Structure 1
């Protein structure tokens, strides 16, 4: 089961007690060189939740940290949703498996924007993800981005939340994209969406 931090999506946004945070800022050259790079998964067998991003951004590929670009709200949403005991910095991603959590991506290659990906890449990524889930056997798979999920899995009417089908034996959930470009969700509503998944993992 997921380790038990106090769960509340109304937690303070600063995640009191956070560790000092390294903040390397990639140069323009670093970001340009990061295009099409691959970012290793944070994964181990038997996770409670495997979070699936769309694909790494250039900032993530340059730093080696998932959801690393300033303004991305994944880590605050993870904290607000009750998955972590404090707000983690992206550089602390390797602590996630100890909490029963992991991160992978639907498409492995890095790009400046997710809309640079082709439909064929998303479909191929869904097949790769299915094989990965069959290998590592997480209890839940949470895809972070409904549009990518609809295209990759040929589910044009899929909505946020639990999905009726399973993926290689894992329960499926679709979360909003935490990118700062997603103006449809605030930090508070993202936290609520993550908290709903958290509650579901505790019930089942």
Structure 2
């Protein structure tokens, strides 16, 4: 991965990161992963979860979603496995806590519209705080939620950011694997 200067990262704040979604030749969308917002490295590279130290890709593989460990620049392979990626808020920041609650709530509305349009089997929100804010679910915990968006079930996952020291990589992989099993079972 290229190393970016502080100026290059600062310039990335104005970039939008496109969603990774299946095309017409791909299988149906089983799981749509929703990050909080793009980090500056992700905005600079154009690839989701691209910051070194982010555990998304290793955890995704460890949970059995992918047959091998993918690099962020291989995100385009995901739709072939019925997997997509989006973000709650579009604005790129160095840290998710730079977002306002209003941005997250607004992003939740945009996310609801995307889910309605794409109808994934599961929406997997990575970040309990963002989910609680966007969906007004103050008591939500990691795991499957009772709330649904039409036919789409919701699963809240721990944030794979390297800044989230509360969850080990192994524990995250176990939680992601629980979602994978549910998505494969059609539950």
TM over 0.5: yes
Residue 115 of structure 1: aligned partner: 97
Residue 166 of structure 1: aligned partner: 148
Deviations 1:78-118 (A, max 9, x none): 00000000000000000000011010000011001000111
Residue 98 of structure 1: aligned partner: 80
Aligned with 2:123 (options 126, 130, 141): 141
2:26 aligned with 1:26, yes or no?
A: no
Which segments of 5 or more consecutive residues in structure 2 lack a partner in the other structure?
Answer: none
Residue 64 of structure 2: aligned partner: 82
Residue 175 of structure 1: aligned partner: 157
1:126 and 1:72 map into 2 onto residues whose CA distance is 23
1:148 and 1:168 map into 2 onto residues whose CA distance is 20
1:192 and 1:38 map into 2 onto residues whose CA distance is 31
Q: Is the 8 A contact 1:26 1:63 kept in 2?
A: no
Q: How does 1:43-82 map to 2 (within 5 A)?
A: 43-44=21-22, 46-82=28-64
User: TM-score, normalised on structure 2?
Assistant: 0.95
Residue 3 of structure 1: aligned partner: none
Any runs of at least 4 consecutive aligned residues in structure 1 with deviations exceeding 6 A, and if so which? none
Which segments of 5 or more consecutive residues in structure 1 lack a partner in the other structure?
Answer: 1-22
3-state SS of paired residue (2:179)? helix
Report the aligned-residue RMSD: 1.0
> C-alpha displacement at 1:180, in angstroms?
0.3
Aligned residues: 182
> C-alpha displacement at 1:169, in angstroms?
2.3
